[in-house]
């Protein structure tokens, strides 16, 4: 599981770097799909991962609000902060909790912890696909291949 998160974080870091080349208008323009703009979508990916993994750990969701994040630098700092906390949790994950259930306050439902972790992985990959389409809409190549192979994750 950890390797897939490392993959997502590697790709996310490349997208955040790519965002530095965009104008403010390109970054914040409302787009079809996603949760609005490129900026909002990246915030959503970072925020959702953190919230879901806090839920799996049965901790309160203390994520920051979107209004607090103003720049790509702010997004990067938030991502790095959350990655550090999430990586510590994922390194300790043994899979013994796969079938433990946890209540998700924002949905009012109960899910398996393993199901949530896999959802988080797929969620980011889904949104990265949207970013790839949007980069092409802007006449730019995506900053990083979606290929997991060759990213150095197994070194």
pLDDT single digits (tens) 15-54: 999 999 999 999 999 999 879 999 999 999 999 999 999 9
Phi, psi of 112 (to 5 degrees): -75, 140
Q: Does 153 fall in a domain?
A: no
Residue 147 domain-assigned?
A: no
Residue 6 falls inside a structural domain: yes
**Is 145 domain-assigned?**
no
**β-pair partners for 137:** none
Q: Does some domain include residue 155? A: no
The pair of structure tokens assigned to 51 is 């919230």
What lies within 8 Å, CB to CB, of 136 at 6+ separation is 142
Model pLDDT, residue 109:
97
Separation CA 62–CA 47 (nearest Å): 10
Instruction: Identify the three-state secondary structure at position 102.
Output: strand
Task: State which residues form the domain around 101.
Answer: 2-137
Report yes or no on 94 lying in a domain: yes
> Is residue 103 classed as helix, strand or coil in its secondary structure?
strand
How many domains does the chain contain in total? 1
* Residue 150, domain member (yes or no): no
What residues contact 40, with CB distance under 8 A and at least 6 apart? 28, 34, 66
Q: Note whether residue 24 is domain-resident.
A: yes
Give the chain's length: 155
Q: What CATH number does the domain containing 58 carry?
A: 1.20.120.450
Q: pLDDT tens, 99-148?
A: 999 999 999 999 999 999 999 999 999 999 999 999 999 999 888 888 88
H/E element, 110: strand 109-112
């Amino acid at each position: 599981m950890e390797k897939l998160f490392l993959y997502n974080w590697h790709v996310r870091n490349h997208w955040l770097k790519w965002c530095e080349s965009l104008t403010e208008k390109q970054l914040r323009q409302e787009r079809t799909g996603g949760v609005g703009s490129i900026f909002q979508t990246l915030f959503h990916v970072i925020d959702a991962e953190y919230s879901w993994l806090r839920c799996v750990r049965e901790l309160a969701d203390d994520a920051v609000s979107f209004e607090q994040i103003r720049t790509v630098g702010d997004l990067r700092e938030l991502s790095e902060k959350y990655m550090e906390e999430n990586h510590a949790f994922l390194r300790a994950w043994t899979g013994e909790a796969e079938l433990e259930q946890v209540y998700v306050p924002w949905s009012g439902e109960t899910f398996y912890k393993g199901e949530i972790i896999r959802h988080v992985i797929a969620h980011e990959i889904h949104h990265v696909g949207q970013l790839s389409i949007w980069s092409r809409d802007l006449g730019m190549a995506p900053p990083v291949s979606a290929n997991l192979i060759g990213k150095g994750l197994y070194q």
